[in-house]
Chains A and B, each alone.
Chain A
């Protein structure tokens, strides 16, 4: 059990900066997921915690002790690698027990602990095999066992599930979560898969281009993305983002032949400037009447089994909506959409940062009941 304090950490590769000063605090026992596209610096950050990468600037402290100059073995971290990095010439048992062998644990105790650990991950029948004779999922378990056996203060996961097929990934996800509950060591898990991130994380760190975009609980981030990047990165299909102008007098924005009412105080602050507004496809609704609402033409439809996604076009902009099972549309259909104002997000067009409305926004719970459902209407 240890907390991890990351203070103004920077990383340069030669002259190219990879991390621009990251400040993060992971509490003891927390399961933190770092999410971002490839090249965002998430793996670099993880490897700096592990001690595999030099720290260009700033400090990392584990359990209150600055570890910048410590060797990986002195930091008390265990790591699960993306390609597992099993030792191909060693049996499963020796793979799991190698760390103990290095630290001089006597053979009898080593074997006992290997057996125990193998049982936790369900590998007891495979101890004599070589990694090459294992399936992908089994290799993954060996990699986990290798980390578990050391009883580390911190678990580091570097995209450990990305080499598994979809089905296995889901079951391993659940197992990792269970394991965390059982061992309750601080865990840092790096991934580019948002579903993985949402399902695993106590807390989520979204990174982009060497910056931390947002830190928060998964639903918090889903409901209040701090930037257009986060908004479009989390949620599938991605949030619709449209650049538009705020009409100050009518406190509204115009879009797709409709006028969407917005908070007047907010409108006044924007003084008729451009903003980017966003709405998630799952928050759009179909209007009952054809005349009211945003006019959208369906380009194509993706069937999901449970419902479907209609990719539409509104004023030349792509615009996606999710529909339930019962709503059948086909390409070429004209739809009339209602955009509930409590689900609208606004972002500064230049910086991409979120603009807070004065009205309180739902926190963790999806659709807050105390909000007046002022469905976005049609003014004139």
Chain B
């Protein structure tokens, strides 16, 4: 950097430390609180020093909110959603980029428009579809001569129901599309000259080449999957399918009960940990995915 003045450097450091306090401070409070006793956590003024109660608090939180089940379910959900998104978006992008087909514009736009249809604005009918996946099919059949089928295909309280409606992804599709567009045309042509058909090209060339891309997408989608809130809240009534975001509520101290915030904070910390680890350890990929998907 050009021209370093001591004052400018001091201000720069001051800003960065202030940013640290603002953005990382809350984590420090959580860590401190999660490792204190109930008396310490409720003391005024609050002590920012961690104590040695974390394991005890975490154990209690684990039991209170049945975090074992919840963490397992969330992990399954995040992994399935991520795998599904990565697989389907690469396939769709392949169809959009590498084929001379008039349908590619239709594919592109029907995926694009989903960006404008967040879950919150279509939540009731989406729930209805999940409660009976064949509902659209039934409707179409009833238009053609009133055929009735009596079967219901209910996705509520299942991993399918937790994941399937979340797998379609415009973001992922565009990330892959953008990556595919940067590949030189000659690559596919050379493969074609070498006798490779489209399917072979996809598996022999595109998949290995898009490893970086896949990793970037995986990190952001894992965080996305783990942090799902509204959908599991609606889908799941059976406690054996509940996810971590749903158990947050059971971690809260009861309104007039003992204010054992130390347990709450220890539980929240456990819940925050997996995505934190992903973003921390794989930050390079995460940032790459983030910046690439939104440009």
Contacts and interface: CB of A to CB of B under 8 A. Distances in A.
Contact of A82 (B186, B194, B200): B186
Interface in A66-92: 71-73, 77-79, 81-89
A103 interface: yes
A265 interface: no
Among A77, A81, A84, the one with the most B-chain Cβ atoms within 10 Å of its Cβ is: A81
A81 B195 contact: no
A89 B205 CA distance: 8
B36 to A, nearest CB: 52
A73 B209 contact: no
B42 interface: no
Contacts of A85: 184, 186-187, 189-190
A379 interface: no
B208 interface: yes
B228 interface: no
B193 A83 contact: no
Contacts of B105: none
Given A87-B205, A88-B209, A102-B200, A146 B194 contact: yes
Contacts of A71: 192
Contact of B186 (A77, A83, A103): A83
Interface residues of B, number: 16
A52 B194 contact: no
B194 A83 contact: no
A239 B51 CA distance: 91
Given A85-B184, A88-B209, A89-B208, A73 B195 contact: yes
A131 to B, nearest CB: 11
Nearest to B100: A54
B196 interface: yes
Contacts of B205: 87, 89
Contacts of A150: 194
Contact of A77 (B191, B193, B204): B193
B80 to A, nearest CB: 28
Contacts of A99: 193-195
Interface string B146-187: 000000000000000000000000000000000000001011
A52 B188 CA distance: 10
A52 B192 contact: yes
B185 to A, nearest CB: 9
B102 to A, nearest CB: 14
A18 interface: no
Interface in A41-73: 50-52, 71-73
> Which of A51, A73, A86 has its CB near the most chain B CB atoms (within 10 A)?
A73
A85 B193 CA distance: 11
A98 interface: yes
Nearest to A53: B189
A150 B193 CA distance: 10
B209 A102 contact: no
Contacts of B200: 102
Contact of B190 (A51, A77, A79): A79
Contacts of A102: 194-196, 200
A154 to B, nearest CB: 11
A134 B292 CA distance: 29
Contacts of B187: 85, 87
B87 to A, nearest CB: 19
Given A52-B192, A81-B189, A83-B184, 7 more contacts: A50-B189, A52-B189, A72-B195, A73-B194, A99-B194, A102-B195, A150-B194
Interface of B: 184, 186-187, 189-196, 200, 204-205, 208-209
Interface of A: 50-52, 71-73, 77-79, 81-89, 98-99, 102-103, 146, 150
11 contacts: A50-B189, A52-B193, A78-B193, A79-B189, A81-B189, A87-B191, A87-B205, A88-B209, A89-B208, A102-B195, A102-B196
